[in-house]
Structure 1
Amino acid sequence: MKKLLTLITLFILAQNATAQKNALRKIADSINVEGEILYRSEWASGHSTQIFSFGYGEKKRLSGGYFSYETEKEMTTIFFSKNDDPVVLATVKFGHKLDSSKYSIDTTTRKFTGVEKDLHAIRSKAAQAVLNDTLFKFYENTSLNLVPIIKNGAKKVYVITAQTAPDEVLLGNDYLINFDRDNNIIKKTKLHNNLIPLGTGGIDTIEASSHQHLGETSPYITATDICAFKLWKAKTTWVISFIVSAGYVSVWHFRDEFLEILTQAEFEKIIQNK
């Protein structure tokens, strides 16, 4: 009887462990998808800004901002005017493979499409919140990028700190603003407690980076972390990055851009066995 109870206990523990691994895998996949969306938007915005500024500087100075979005056909970035009734000043498009050498630019002034009107509306309300709400922090020699996203009916704007120094990657000082279907703000969330500058390596090769998620910060890696890792992958010597919280360790593998989330116990066991 005692042996049977032991076997039953081991079976239950194994089932629980498998269920936890599956749950963490789903969480990792969800964060990875969100990070990819954010990365693609920021990639397009960054390259489009260079293209527009270099070839159409005079018109670029009339711009009040920009945002990017993806359709089934392409990745699109628009630059809109500063006036009270803004219009699109320029449209830059890339293929889904994000080849910076293959793009089109149209500087014909036009009205927003329906999707663009919604994206502009939530971006504008996010910009007002950033200026008026003390939740949002500003650091010297940095700026805050607004990244509006509408997917499966969910409307949100990520607010992320833009990198300025070439020898570091900035993580943290990032936020998520959620909207209802009528473009009203329903929630504002601080994703990290502070700004985290990490050295890229350079002459002194750094193969691993790490940072902690403490307090109210998510116990897992954030979509903004993944976005930064993917954007600056070529600028670093990193092979792996660890995001450590009280209960979990998120591990981002740079070469194959793979994310795994482990419990602290699992992670410690792996370290002990090496």
Structure 2
Amino acid sequence: MKELFTLIILFILAQNATAQKNALRQIADSIYAEGEMLYRSEWASGNSTQIFTTGFGAKKLLSGGYFSYETPKGMATTFFSKNEDPVVLATVKFDHGLDSSKYSIDTITRKFTENEKALYTIRSKAAQAVLNDTLFKFYQHTSLNLVPIVKNGAKRVYVITAQTVPDEVLLGNDYLINFNEDNDIIKETKLHNNLIPLGTGGKDPIKASSHQHLGETSLFITATDICAFKLWKAKTTWVISFVVSAGYVSAWHFHDEFLEILTQDEWQKIMKNK
């Protein structure tokens, strides 16, 4: 009877462990998908800005901003005018492969499409919030990028600190603004407590980087972390990056772009066996 009881307990523990691993895998997949979406948007915005500025500098001066979005054929970045009733000044398009040498640009002035109007509306409201709300912080030699997303009925804008120093990857000082269906702000979330500059390695290769999530920061790596890692992958010598919280360790593997989330107990066991 005692042996049967022990077997039952072991079976329950094994089932719980499997369920927990499956739950963490789902969380990791969700974070990765959001991070990939952010990365594609920021990649398109950065490359489109360079193309627009280089080839159409005079028209670029008329621009009041830009935003990027997914299309059936790839990514598009729209630059809009500064006036109160803005129009589209130019649109740069890339295919799904995100090859910066393969693009098209349309500089015919036109009105927003319905999708573009929805993105512009929440981007504009987010921009006002960033300027007027003390939640948002500005650091010297940096700027804040606004990434509007409308998907599956959900509307949100990420606010991300842009990198300006070539030998650093900037994490943190990032935010998420959620909107309701009427485009009213319903929640503003600070994703990291501060700005985290990490060295890329340079002449002294760094194989691993890490940072902590404390207090109200997410227990897991954030989509903005994933976005930054993918954007600056080629400029670092990192093989892996860890995000450590009170209960979990998130590990981003750079080579195969794989996200792994472990409990602290699992992590401690791995470290003891090394």
TM-score range, shorter chain: over 0.9
Q: Residue 185 of structure 1 aligns with which residue? A: 185
What is the distance in 2 between the residues matched to 1:183 and 1:74?
Answer: 26
TM-score, normalised to structure 2, is 0.99
Q: Residue 197 of structure 1 aligns with which residue? A: 197
Question: How big is the shift at 1:74?
Answer: 2.0
Paired-residue identity, %: 82
Q: Residue 165 of structure 1 aligns with which residue? A: 165
Q: How many residues align?
A: 274
Pairing 1:92-131 to 2, within 5 Å after superposition: 92-131=92-131
Q: Residue 210 of structure 2 aligns with which residue? A: 210
What is the distance in 2 between the residues matched to 1:51 and 1:30?
Answer: 32
What is the distance in 1 between the residues matched to 2:250 and 2:85?
Answer: 44
Q: Residue 257 of structure 1 aligns with which residue? A: 257
Pairing 1:42-121 to 2, within 5 Å after superposition: 42-121=42-121
1:139 and 2:126 equivalent? no
Q: Residue 149 of structure 1 aligns with which residue? A: 149
CA RMSD after TM alignment:
0.4
What is the distance in 2 between the residues matched to 1:77 and 1:182?
Answer: 24
What is the distance in 2 between the residues matched to 1:119 and 1:237?
Answer: 36
Question: How big is the shift at 1:208?
Answer: 0.1
What is the distance in 1 between the residues matched to 2:168 and 2:265?
Answer: 31
Question: How big is the shift at 1:73?
Answer: 1.5
What is the distance in 1 between the residues matched to 2:198 and 2:74?
Answer: 33
SS in 2 for 1:83: coil
- Per-residue CA shift, 1:163-204, capped at 9, x if unaligned? 000000000000000001111111000000000000000100
User: 1:49 corresponds to which letter in structure 2?
Assistant: T
Question: How big is the shift at 1:119?
Answer: 0.1
Dislocated runs of 4+, deviation >3 Å: none
TM-score, normalised to structure 1, is 0.99
Question: How big is the shift at 1:92?
Answer: 0.2
In structure 2, the gaps of 5 or more residues are none
What is the distance in 1 between the residues matched to 2:120 and 2:257?
Answer: 31
What is the distance in 1 between the residues matched to 2:65 and 2:4?
Answer: 68
User: 1:194 corresponds to which letter in structure 2?
Assistant: N
What is the distance in 1 between the residues matched to 2:71 and 2:162?
Answer: 25
SS in 2 for 1:246: coil
What is the distance in 1 between the residues matched to 2:46 and 2:73?
Answer: 20
